[in-house]
Amino acid sequence: MEMAPSERGRQEPAKRIKRRDLLRAGGAAAAVGTAGLLIGPNILRKAFVKADSGTGVRYGMVIDLERCFGCRACVQACKVENNTPGAVSWMYLFRYEEGSYPNVTVGYMSRPCMHCSNPPCVKVCPVGARFRREDGLVLTDFRRCIGCRYCQVACPYGVNYFNWKKPKDNYYLDWDGETPPYKNPDHDKQYGGRTVSGGGHYVGVMEKCTFCVHRLAKGLLPACVSNCPAHVYHFGDLNDPNSAVSEVLGKKKWIRLQEHLDTQPSVFYVGNPPASDMAKLLGAARLELDRNDEMLEVRR
């Protein structure tokens, strides 16, 4: 991928969502069934791609459910690349079982941030720390974030993590001096004039998947895409009909999670969708996230 993202951070105009709808979104994750999935006929793909941002780059990801075998290389690559703190995984892998004994099948589904085209997390941020760039990336300005956690409540996918600890206490290993040995210097840089890359820099801020914005700026793929041994992930420009993601979406039927909430995710799933109630899985992920937050709050 040769094209680098635009370096200007800009919030895209989107449909208005009432506050009560946002507060209901979290509950919907546990209450709504497979109606949260949208089967996307190929004939609708081009219309969707053209509907968002026009001629600029708009990044998106396609995840092939039939190729994933649950090795979690994407999870580890994300943690190493982004220096995420202990108990924090920006890439989450669901393992689910379907059927009844002895006819049971096991499936896996990874869940990064959806980088929605109509992101509810952006709308509830009172200080503009959470914003959407013109290339489709939904990011957090760590220096502006006040830690109110409204974005965590508004997100129906459970992708936000609150940073409870100072950097010195937040990582897995102790170190002497000011710089941990595994720190990525690219995370200290500003992208679009804002501090949005990496994890664990500041206490009291929200963190989530960035599609590895620091790698995109150098023309590289996100770490999860580059390190998957089974080629589960496809990444590229949704506005380019010749990109890897557009070609896959043009050939296969796809689904997007929680489509009924009109968040318009930029992450698509192809292959056989799970028959499981994905809304309940997402709700379970949010519950686990809340429990981790409570444990970290007690230990800080």
19-299: which CATH number, 3.20.20.10, 3.40.50.300, 3.30.70.20, 3.40.1360.10?
Answer: 3.30.70.20
* Helix, strand, coil fractions of the chain, as percent rounded to 5: 30, 15, 50
Strands (E), the chain: 59-64, 92-100, 103-111, 130-132, 138-140, 161-162, 206-207, 233-237, 254-255, 267-270
Q: Which of 19-28, 171-180, 181-190, 204-213 has the highest mean pLDDT?
A: 204-213
Tens of pLDDT, residue by residue over 157-184, are 999 999 988 877 877 776 676 766 667 8
Average pLDDT over residues 107-120: 95
Cα–Cα separations (whole angstroms), residue 105 to 68, 79, 157:
14, 29, 24
For the record, the structure tokens of 191 come out as 């992208």
Q: Give the three-state DSSP class for 63.
A: strand
Neighbouring C-beta atoms of residue 13, cutoff 10 Å = 8
pLDDT category at 202 given cuts 50, 70, 90 is confident
pLDDT category at 271 given cuts 50, 70, 90 is confident
Closest CA to 137 of 40, 224, 61: 61
> Is the pLDDT score of 300 beyond 90?
no
Q: Which residue has the higher pLDDT, 167 or 68?
A: 68
Cα–Cα separations (whole angstroms), residue 175 to 26, 168, 182, 296:
39, 8, 10, 21
Average pLDDT over residues 74-101: 90
Q: Can you name the residues that pair with 97 across neighbouring β-strands? A: 106
Which amino acid, one-letter code, is at 18?
K
Closest CA to 207 of 140, 156, 119: 140
> Is the pLDDT score of 112 beyond 90?
yes
Q: Which of 114-128, 257-271, 274-288 has the highest mean pLDDT?
A: 114-128
Q: If you average pLDDT over every residue of the chain, what do you get?
A: 78
pTM over the 0.85 mark = no
Average pLDDT over residues 55-65: 91
Return all residues near 276 (Cβ < 8 A) that are at least 6 apart: 96, 98, 107
> Poorest-confidence range of 76-90, 112-126, 173-187, 190-204?
173-187
> Is the pLDDT score of 238 beyond 90?
yes
Q: What is the pLDDT of residue 272?
A: 78
Q: Which residue has the higher pLDDT, 290 or 185?
A: 185
Domain extents for the chain?
Answer: 19-299
> Is the pLDDT score of 37 beyond 50?
no
